[in-house]
Chain A
Amino acid sequence: MWAFIHKLGSPKWFYGISAKLQPWFWAAAALLIVTGSLWGLAFAPADYQQGNSFRIIYVHVPAAFLAQSIFIAMAVSGLVFMVWKIKVADMAAAVMAPLGAAMTFVALFSGAVWGVPTWGTWWMWDARLTSMLILLFLYLGVIALRGAFTSRDSASRAASVLAMVGVINIPIIKYSVDWWYTLHQPASFTLTSRPAMPTEMWLPLVIMVLGFYCFFIALTLMRTRSEILRREANKHWVQELVAGQVVKVPAEEAR
């Protein structure tokens, strides 16, 4: 167990194993997202209440799921980095943050656009949208804090602490915002919570969610590899890798 953790922590080992894993996740992501998109856009029936604007759910919900999951993943990586000093965990956390912020933005944008046909306005202080907005600020805080330090080690540790503090607060923020919303808007209905969605509606949603998760894993692997090269550029194994032309052409790896 310990040997495994430390092996996983070795950037060299991670660089090798991620090269093997990466194509599978890219393929799965592409397959799932294309299938889910076609199904969700063209084949799923229109909603009886919202009509076709309901199809925004297939990007809004996966993005919102991912936005929350990435923050948790980032905090877990931070914890692993702080406890076991595993540098790869911090590199992963560093590359996750911008993607998490991007996903939060997607969730916010699609929610706002969805609001126009549903509520007749671009922005409602809806519970989900409000928590998403706060989550975006949390992401921006982590990214800004990491960028503010000149020493990389301090930046990593500070970002890890903030991610952990944030992840403890996310459920508290979520529940308090939900509570606040039900207090102030008792009669209106939220975008996505509805009784008993038929199978042909939620199955593409599940596919899209899985596809987004695969995309997240694939992109994180890829960018962590870049981060390894950046931080370990002076290490012997990287220079050997480059000298021996073992480094593959990126175009092949990205597929």
Chain B
Amino acid sequence: MAFDSFSEFLAMGGHAPYVWSAWGVTALLLLATVWHARAEQRQLIKGLKRRARRANSARGNAQ
């Protein structure tokens, strides 16, 4: 452990704003890409399912 206490860990020896902003932006971007990929996948599958249902019901109406 390089720090004696949690508050010292947060202070980063006076470099807190730099260390935490760099790490924060990185974490935020990584999480945002994951979130975006998941939202994209969900939306696509939802759209495909809707299309399949519509095609089914259209076939049902025709019969």
A51 an interface residue at 8 Å Cβ cutoff? Answer: yes
Partner of A42, one of B3, B33, B55: B3
B22 and A109 contacting across the interface, CB-CB below 8 Å: yes
Interface string of B30-50 (1 = CB under 8 A from A): 100110011011101100110
Partner of A222, one of B3, B9, B37, B52: B37
A247 to B47, CA, bound (A): 12
B9 to chain A, nearest CB (A): 6
Partner of A254, one of B14, B38, B44, B48: B38
What range describes how many residues of A lie at the interface?
Answer: 35 or more
Q: Which residues of A contact B41 (CB under 8 A)?
A: 222, 225-226, 229, 250, 253-254
Chain A 53-99 interface residues, beta-carbon cutoff 8 Å to B: 53, 55-56, 59-60, 63, 98-99
Q: Which residues of A contact B13 (CB under 8 A)?
A: 46, 51-52
Interface string of B1-24 (1 = CB under 8 A from A): 111000001001111001101110
Given known contacts A52-B12, A242-B49, A59 and B34 CB-to-CB distance under 8 angstroms: no
A223 to B34, CA, bound (A): 9
Specify the main secondary structure of chain B where it touches its partner. helix
> How many chain B residues have a CB neighbour from A under 8 Å?
32
Q: Which residues of A contact B18 (CB under 8 A)?
A: 53, 56, 113-114, 116-117
Specify the main secondary structure of chain A where it touches its partner. helix
A46 to B51, CA, bound (A): 57
A161 an interface residue at 8 Å Cβ cutoff? Answer: no
B52 to chain A, nearest CB (A): 5
Closest to B30 in A: A215
22 cross-chain CB contacts under 8 A: A41-B23, A43-B1, A46-B13, A52-B13, A52-B14, A52-B15, A53-B15, A53-B18, A55-B12, A56-B22, A102-B29, A109-B22, A113-B21, A114-B18, A114-B22, A225-B41, A229-B48, A239-B48, A242-B48, A247-B45, A247-B49, A253-B41
Residues of A within 8 A of B (CB): 33, 37, 41-46, 51-53, 55-56, 59-60, 63, 98-99, 102, 105-106, 109-110, 113-114, 116-117, 215, 219, 222-223, 225-226, 229-230, 233, 238-239, 242-243, 247, 250-251, 253-254
> Lowest 8 CB-CB distances: which A-B pairs, in order?
A53-B15, A110-B22, A52-B13, A59-B26, A52-B12, A56-B22, A250-B41, A113-B22
Residues of B within 8 A of A (CB): 1-3, 9, 12-15, 18-19, 21-23, 25-26, 29-30, 33-34, 37-38, 40-42, 44-45, 48-49, 51-52, 55-56
